[in-house]
Amino acid sequence: MLIHRLLTTTLAFAVLAVAAHPANAGSESGNFMVRVQGTVVDPDAGATVRSGGAVIAGADADVSTEVIPTLTLSYFLNKNLALELFCCFAKMQAEGEGAIKGLGQIADFWVFPPAVTLQYHFDNMGALKPYVGAGVHYIHFFDEDGGQYGRVEIDDALGFTLQAGVDLSLGGGWYLNADVKKTWIDTEVNWKDAGLKADLDIDPWIYSLGVGYRFNLEDIFGRRAQTAMK
C-alpha cells in the first residue's frame, strides 16, 4: 500500500514537473537541480514518558508512518560537490505504546522539516550518478492537538542526517532519482492538562522516489531577461 501511494505521488509530481520545465534549458552539467518526489517518512520512534516528574515504567510511544510529496533544490558548487535543501509538510500522529498502549492516539501534529545536506556526487559511472551526503535536519512542529488529553506542546528540534542516493540520467537534463536519509532527532512533548511529559526520539528513515531536472540558473534568468527586454 505504501509503495502504491509513493509511486502515485511521484507520478503526479513528475507530470507537473514536465508541464512546468523551461524548454531546451536542460544541462547534464548544470549548476542547479530541482527534484519532485514521493516520500515515505518512517519514524523509528521511542519515548520516555513521565507523570509528575516520575518515569512511567514500560511506557513508550510511536509516531505514524506517512507518504507525502517532497521537493529538493540542489546547487552544484562544482562537478562533485552540491548543497541540497529538502523540504515538505506532513501531518503525523503519536500513539501510546507499552504500558500506555490503552491510551490510543495521544497527539496529532503538523511538521515542517527542512534538511540541508552537503553531497558528494560520483561522476565516473556514465548515466548512473550516485551520491552521498551529510547535514542537519530541523523540525518545526505546529498545530498540535492532544485530543481528549488536552493541550499539547512539542518543542522544535535539530538533528543530524545522513543520505545516499542515485540519479539516473534520461538525457536533456532529466533524471530519475532514488534517495534514502536517516535522521537522528529528538524532542520534548508536554501534555499540559494531563500532567504528562515525554522525551520523544523520532529518528526517521526517509525514502524518496522522484524525477529531477538539471539546468544552469544563468540560462533561465538570462532568457527571462531577454524576453522582458523585447
CB 68 within 8 A of CB 113: no
* Average model confidence (pLDDT) across the chain: 87
- Please compute the mean of the pLDDT values over residues 16-44 and round it to a whole number: 77
- Cα 154 versus chain centre, distance: 19
21-30, 38-47, 127-136, 163-172: least confident range: 21-30
In this prediction, residue 97 has a pLDDT band, given cuts at 50, 70 and 90, of: very high
Q: What total number of domains does the chain contain?
A: 1
Strands (E) located in the chain: 32-43, 46-51, 54-55, 59-63, 66-76, 81-87, 90-98, 105-112, 115-121, 128-145, 152-154, 157-171, 174-184, 186-191, 196-201, 204-215
Look at residue 35 and tell me whether its pLDDT is greater than 60.
yes
- Please compute the mean of the pLDDT values over residues 50-59 and round it to a whole number: 90
Look at residue 192 and tell me whether its pLDDT is greater than 70.
yes
In this prediction, residue 57 has a pLDDT band, given cuts at 50, 70 and 90, of: very high
53-57, 133-137, 157-161, 223-227: least confident range: 223-227
- Please compute the mean of the pLDDT values over residues 208-226 and round it to a whole number: 77
- Please compute the mean of the pLDDT values over residues 44-55 and round it to a whole number: 91
pLDDT at residue 195, rounded to an integer: 86
DSSP calls for 115-128: EEEEEEE--SSTTE
In this prediction, residue 5 has a pLDDT band, given cuts at 50, 70 and 90, of: low
**Helix or strand run (H / E) with residue 228:** helix 217-229
pLDDT at residue 48, rounded to an integer: 94
- Please compute the mean of the pLDDT values over residues 167-181 and round it to a whole number: 95
In this prediction, residue 221 has a pLDDT band, given cuts at 50, 70 and 90, of: low
Domain residue limits at 82: 2-229
- 78 by Cβ neighbours in 10 Å (0-12 / 13-18 / 19+) ranks as exposed
Q: What's 97's domain CATH number?
A: 2.40.160.20
pLDDT at residue 94, rounded to an integer: 93
φ, ψ dihedrals at 201, nearest 5°: -90, 120
The whole-angstrom separation of Cα 33 and Cα 221 is 15
In this prediction, residue 29 has a pLDDT band, given cuts at 50, 70 and 90, of: confident
pLDDT at residue 11, rounded to an integer: 47
pTM given for the model: 0.84
